[in-house]
Amino acid sequence: MEIEKYIPQAEKIFLVDGTFKDDRNERIDFIKNFETCDLLAVPGSGKTTALIAKLYCIAQNMPFEDGSGILVLAHTNSAVDEIEKKLKKHCPQLFEYPNFVGTIQSFVNKYLAIPNYISHYKQKPITFDVERYEYQINKFYLNTQNYNLKNWLDKKKDPIKFLINIRFDKDYNLISGLNSSKEDFALKDQSKPTYAGLKSFKENLIKNGYLHFDDGYFLANKYLLKFEIIKLILQNRFKYVFIDEMQDLEEFQIKIIDHIFFTNKSTTVIQRLGDKNQSIYNTVKEKCDWETRQEFDSQKYIDLSFQNSLRLNSNTAKLVDKLVLERPKDYKVVGKFEESDLKPHLIVINRETTGEQIKNKFIELIIKYNLHQYDKNIKSGFKIISWITEKEEDNNEIYLQKLFSNYSKKSYSPKEDYTCLKDYLYYYDKEKKTLESIRKSILNSFVRILDLEDIKNNKGIRYRKSTLMQFIKNQSEDFYNDFKAKLYSWCFRIVVHQQNEEVYTEIVFFINSNDFIGLNWYNLEDYVSKSISKSNDFIKSDNFELRQNKVEDSKENDFIKIDLASVHAVKGQTHCATMYIETAYQRPIYETQKIIKLKGKDKSNPLLLEEHKCNGAYDRQALKMMYVGFSRPTHLLCFVALEENVKDYLDSLCHKKGGIWVIQNDLIQKIN
C-alpha cells in the first residue's frame, strides 16, 4: 500500500503550514506503520491529527482488492465527530461501506447487539439510553406489586442505583455492573422469590426494548457465542482497526474488540492510541484498564510513542511530565510549543476570596501577556476549570459553583433524549447548518411523550420517529401535509429566529389537542380520544435551565470571555490559557494536600519538579486530574491554591528560588 507519497498532501490539508516531521519523526513513523501495535501519546502531541492523516493516506489506496474496509473507533461521540469533520469532505468513501467510523458503543450495537435483539425479539429495541432506562427503573420501583421485593429493596442504601446497575452475565446470572461477577451479587440464593423478581424485572426491561448501554455488550457477547462465524465475517470485513482514546475504555469494551479481532488466526491489523495518564472518563481510575501490546507480549510487540507535545511550552511540559503516573521506559513529556515561554502561575487565595476576584485576576494576567490580542488565542479560549464543580454540602469548602453561581454541570451536548420537553427545543445539534437536527429533536420529544403515555401500535410495539411519521401519513394526505408544515415552521423559527419559547407554547398546545394525543393511535373501531396524563411532568417540567457556563467581565474587559468547566469536560481540548482551581474531594482533601504529602526524605514532590511517590488511590487520582487539567493551555497555566495548603512551600515553589512557579499572592494579605 502506497502511504509515503500521500503524506505531503495530508500535511497541506490537515496542518496548513506545518509538517509531520520533527526531531523524533514519531508521527511519520506512526503514519507509515501497518503492524499491530499501540501508540502512547502525551497531551497535545497531535495523536488524532496523525491518525486522520494516516486514514487519508489509506483512503487514497482504496478500494482494496479483497473488498475489505477499515474500522475506526473512539470512545466518545465528540472524538468521532472531530474525525468526521476533518476527514469526510476529503475522503467520503471512508464513511461508506465497507468502512465504519463510530464509537465502540455504536459498533457493538450495529453489528452485534441489535442483530441479536431482532433475531430474538423480532423487533428493534426502543433505545440504548440512560435517561429513559432510569425512568423505567423509577417507575418499576414506585409501582411494583411484588411486596417482598419492594421490602428487600427498601432496606438497601440506594435501591434505585442498585436497580440501575443490574446486568446479566453470559449465563443469565444477575450481576452488578459488567465488571462484576455473580459471586458479588447481593442475592446469593437464586432460588429465592426475591431473586426471581429481580431477574424478571430485568428480563422485562430488555424484552420491552429499554436497554442500558451496557446491555449492548451483554447482547453482543451472546451473539458471538451463538454464531462463531460472526468473528470471521468481521475480520474479513475490516482489514485495519484503529481505536482512539484507549485510556477511556472499560475492561469489557477492550475484551470484546480483542475477542473479535485479536485472535491467533486473525489477519486484522489493530492499532490503539491513547494516554494512560488521562484515564478519567467516568471515574478517575487508579490504574488504567488498558494493557498495551508490549505489556502483553514484549517479545512480539513494540509500543510506539509520541513524546513531543505541540501544545505545551517547555515550562508547562516539565511540570506535566512530573505528574506522569504510568510511564514506559524512556517516556517523557517534551514541550515543543515555541510561541510562549510563560512559566506556570500559582495564584494563592483564602476561603474569603471570591470567584469574581479570581476571575478578574485571570483576566488581568491574560491582558498583561497580551493573550487577548490574537484571534488564534481567542479561538482556543480561556477556561476556568476544577475537579469538583458541585456539592450537596459545602462545609465551607471550595468548589466551582460556590465560586461562580451561574455554573451548571448539566451537559448540553446534543443527544436523543432529555428529562423535559424544553430541553429538546434548546439542546439540539447546532453544529449542523440545516433544520435536520432540530427536526429530529422535536420528533424525539413526541416519541418520548407517546412512550411515557404507554401508547403503542396495534401490534404492541412502541412508536419510533419513522413509525410516528408513517402513522401521521396514514391519517390523510391533508393531515400529513399540515403536520409537516407545522414541523417546518417550528424548526425554522427556532433555528433562524430563536423563538424557542413561542414554539414551546405552540407545541404544548398541539400535544394536548386532538391532532396529537387525541388521535386513534391504537387503530380501534370504537375509539375514545384520550388526553395527556402520564407525561404532564415531562411536558411542563421546570427543571429546564438555560445556562451558558460562561463568565463575562464588564466594562473595559467585556470582550474577554471566560468559560467554566470541569476537568472531565475539557479533556482533549486546547486552550490559550487555563486556570485550574483546586477543590475539596474526599474527606475533604484538596489536590495540594494530596500532592505535597507525596514527598520523600528529600522533600520531593511534583509541584517542586522532583519525582513523586504515590501512596494511595486518592493521591493517584489527584495526579491524573492535575495531569489532564495542567496540560490544556498553550500559553498560560494558572493554578489556584488555598493559602493554608501551600504557605509553607512558597519559597521552594517560587521560580526565583529554584522552583518553576510565578507566585501571585495579591488576592490575600501579605504572607508573613
- To 5 degrees, how large is the angle CA 220–CA 204–CA 123? 60
Q: Distance between CA 626 and CA 609 in Å, rounded?
A: 14
- To 5 degrees, how large is the angle CA 347–CA 625–CA 404? 50
Q: Distance between CA 517 and CA 526 in Å, rounded?
A: 16
pTM of this prediction exceeds 0.85: no
pLDDT on residue 600: 41
**In whole angstroms, how far apart are CA 475 and each of 470, 471, 483, 521, 532?**
9, 7, 11, 10, 20
Average pLDDT over residues 546-571: 72
Average pLDDT over residues 157-168: 94
3 state SS of 453? coil
Show the domains of the chain with their CATH numbers.
4-112+226-310 (3.40.50.300), 127-208 (no CATH), 334-410+551-664 (3.40.50), 421-540 (no CATH)
| Residues 497-508 pLDDT 10s | 999 999 999 999
Average pLDDT over residues 338-343: 96
Quick one: pLDDT band at residue 62, thresholds 50, 70, 90? very high
Q: Over 50: is that where the pLDDT of 533 sits?
A: yes
- To 5 degrees, how large is the angle CA 561–CA 562–CA 566? 150
Residue with cell 420491552: 208
Q: Distance between CA 549 and CA 381 in Å, rounded?
A: 13
pLDDT on residue 670: 45
Q: Over 70: is that where the pLDDT of 647 sits?
A: yes
Q: Distance between CA 177 and CA 161 in Å, rounded?
A: 11
Quick one: pLDDT band at residue 413, thresholds 50, 70, 90? low
CB 326 within 8 A of CB 41: no
pLDDT on residue 344: 97
pLDDT higher at 39 or 208: 39
CB 85 within 8 A of CB 57: no
Quick one: pLDDT band at residue 414, thresholds 50, 70, 90? low
pLDDT on residue 589: 84
Average pLDDT over residues 69-86: 94
Average pLDDT over residues 600-608: 51
Measured in residues, the chain has a length of 672
pLDDT on residue 528: 83
| Residues 33-59 pLDDT 10s | 999 999 999 999 999 999 999 999 999
Quick one: pLDDT band at residue 608, thresholds 50, 70, 90? low
pLDDT on residue 406: 81
